[in-house]
Amino acid sequence: MTTKLLINPANQHIAARLEGELKSKKLTIQDERIMRILNGCGINVSRDFMPDRSYHIFPDHPDHSLFVEAFEKYFYPHGLMQKGFYWIKEEDYKKELSSYGSSQDIATEIIRKHIASF
């Protein structure tokens, strides 16, 4: 099972955890600010995403896979990615964490690698 972590660039803390594959994905939001936004406003999706339903998907939607898909297709690229948030595999994050002495060192190195990937 693959696990990806969404990293907040401001503090290098884990903002969300995405586990699983395809339709069995589970998204856990760990950042309180992001969770407040999602609970308050939901994720605005286009008409082609859900033609017969509401245009907002909330974290408590009965079909969690639909919320995960909306988060990946709309919320991340049109909000979080523009603010510098990025995904990293959990194994890579743990390796980076164990190879550096301080959180400042890991923050600097992860940002350097992330910027270099563009």
Please tell me the predicted confidence (pLDDT) of residue 100: 65
What is the Cα–Cα distance from 24 to 65, expressed in whole angstroms?
Answer: 7
Q: What is the pLDDT along the chain (118 residues), one digit of tens a residue?
A: 789 999 998 888 899 999 988 778 999 999 999 999 999 999 998 888 876 666 888 999 888 888 999 999 999 999 899 999 999 999 888 887 777 655 667 667 767 776 776 6
Q: Which two tokens stand for residue 51?
A: 């033609």
